[in-house]
C-alpha cells in the first residue's frame, strides 16, 4: 500500500507570508518520504470538517498545484476533489492539462459533484440541485475525455454544455488519470465504473468492502475489470503520528486485504512539512502490507 498526503489547512506558522515557503518544503518532504500522492482541496472558504471556521485561510486549488509542480519532480498532483460547478469543463480540461505539462506529466483530475453550498451562494456560483450536478459531472467527464483525445477536436453537444470545438494544444504529457470522489452507490460508483481510473472511499473496512462490491457490479454492467480501478481511502482515525505508527499500520492492514492501493492522510496546519518528516518512516512499512 502507498501513502499520500492531503493538505486542507493553510494556517501556517509565520502567517500568510510564510505559506509559500512552507508549501515548497511540503513538496520536498513528501517526495523524500516516498509518498506517491500530494493534493489540496477545491474550496474557496475553509470547510467545517477541518474544525476551522470558514474565515480560515484557503488557497485556490489549481494555482496551488501549479506552484507545487515547480517545487516537486516525482509525486502525483491533484485536487481531492474538484467541484464540478466551479469551472466550465472545457476550461477545467485546459487547466489540468497545463498542470500536467508543467509538472512533466504528473497531474490527476480528481472530481466530484460539489457540495459546499455556502461558498457557492457567497461567491455567486450557481448551485443547481444534486441531480443536475451529477448530470453536469458526467458531461464534464465526457468533455475532458474528448479534450484529451488528439484525434477528436469537437464538437460536444450535451444537455448542459455545448462546445463548438474541443481543441486542447498542447496535449497532456500523460493523459490525466481521473479520480472520482464519493461513494454513492447508485450514481457515483456507476460513474467510477464507466469513466474513472480511481475512486476515493471513506468508512470502516466493512463499509469499504461493501462499496467495492457495488463497484464490481457496476463494472460488470459496463464490461470493465474492477481491478483496473485504483482504490484510495482517507482514514481519519487513526492517522500516523510522528513516533507512533503501529496503530495506523494495524488499521491499514485490513484495508490492504481488500485491495486498497493508497491511504491518503491529512497533514495538520502549523508546520505540515515537519509533520510529514515525522511520519515518513511509515511509508516503507505500509508498502510491506501489499
pLDDT tens track for 112-152: 999 999 999 999 999 999 999 999 999 999 999 999 999 99
| Paired residues of 78 in beta bridges | 39
Q: For the chain, report the end-to-end CA distance as a whole number of angstroms.
A: 5
Per-residue pLDDT at 290: 77
CATH class name, domain 2-288: alpha beta
* SS3 state of residue 185: coil
Q: What is the DSSP string of 102-153?
A: HTTS-BEEEEE----HHHHHHHT-----HHHHHHHHHHHHHHHHHHT-TT--
Give the Cα separation of 68 and 47 in Å (integer): 22
Q: Based on the number of CB atoms within 10 Å of its own CB, is 268 exposed (0-12), middle (13-18) or buried (19 or more)? A: middle
Residue stretches of the chain with pLDDT short of 70: none
What angle separates helix 61-70 from helix 19-33, to the nearest 10 degrees?
Answer: 60
pLDDT of residue 243: 72
pTM for this model (two decimals) = 0.96
Separation of alpha carbons 72 and 93, rounded Å: 22
Cell numbers for 224: 470493465
* Euclidean distance between CA atoms 285 and 34, whole angstroms: 11
**What dihedral angle (degrees, nearest 10) is formed by the CA atoms of 280, 59, 148, 120?**
130
CB half-sphere exposure, 286, CA atoms < 13 A: 27
Counting other chains too, the contacts that 132-135 makes at CB distance below 8 Å and 24 or more residues apart are 132/160, 133/84, 133/85, 134/187, 134/188, 134/191, 135/159, 135/160
Q: Is there a contact between 4 and 36 (Cβ–Cβ < 8 Å)?
A: yes
Please give the pLDDT value at position 211: 98
Amino acid at each position: 500500500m502507498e501513502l499520500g498526503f492531503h493538505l486542507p489547512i493553510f494556517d501556517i506558522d509565520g502567517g500568510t507570508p510564510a505559506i509559500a515557503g512552507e508549501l515548497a518544503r511540503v513538496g520536498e518532504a513528501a517526495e523524500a518520504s516516498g509518498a506517491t500522492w500530494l493534493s489540496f482541496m477545491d474550496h474557496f472558504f475553509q470547510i467545517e470538517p477541518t474544525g476551522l471556521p470558514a474565515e480560515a485561510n484557503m488557497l485556490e486549488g489549481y494555482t496551488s498545484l501549479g506552484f507545487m509542480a515547480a517545487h516537486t519532480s516525482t509525486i502525483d498532483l491533484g485536487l481531492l476533489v474538484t467541484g464540478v460547478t466551479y469551472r466550465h469543463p472545457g476550461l477545467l480540461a485546459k487547466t489540468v492539462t497545463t498542470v500536467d505539462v508543467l509538472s512533466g506529466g504528473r497531474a490527476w483530475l480528481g472530481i466530484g459533484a460539489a457540495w459546499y453550498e455556502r461558498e457557492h451562494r457567497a461567491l455567486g456560483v450557481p448551485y443547481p440541485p444534486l441531480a443536475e450536478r451529477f448530470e453536469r459531472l458526467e458531461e464534464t467527464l465526457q468533455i475532458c475525455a474528448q479534450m484529451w483525445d488528439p484525434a477528436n477536436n469537437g464538437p460536444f453537444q450535451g444537455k448542459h454544455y455545448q462546445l463548438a470545438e474541443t481543441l486542447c494544444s498542447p496535449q497532456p504529457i500523460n493523459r490525466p488519470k481521473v479520480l472520482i470522489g464519493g461513494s454513492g452507490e447508485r450514481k457515483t460508483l456507476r460513474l467510477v465504473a464507466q469513466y474513472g481510473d480511481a475512486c476515493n472511499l471513506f468508512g470502516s473496512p466493512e463499509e469499504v468492502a461493501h462499496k467495492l462490491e457495488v463497484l464490481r457490479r457496476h463494472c460488470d454492467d459496463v464490461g470493465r475489470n474492477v481491478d483496473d480501478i485504483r482504490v484510495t481511502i482517507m482514514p481519519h482515525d487513526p492517522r500516523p503520528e510522528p513516533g507512533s505508527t503501529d496503530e495506523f499500520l494495524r488499521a491499514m492492514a485490513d484495508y490492504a486485504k481488500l485491495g486498497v492501493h493508497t491511504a491518503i492522510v491529512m497533514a495538520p496546519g502549523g508546520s505540515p512539512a515537519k509533520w510529514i518528516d515525522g511520519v515518513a518512516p511509515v511509508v516503507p512499512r505500509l508498502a510491506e502490507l501489499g
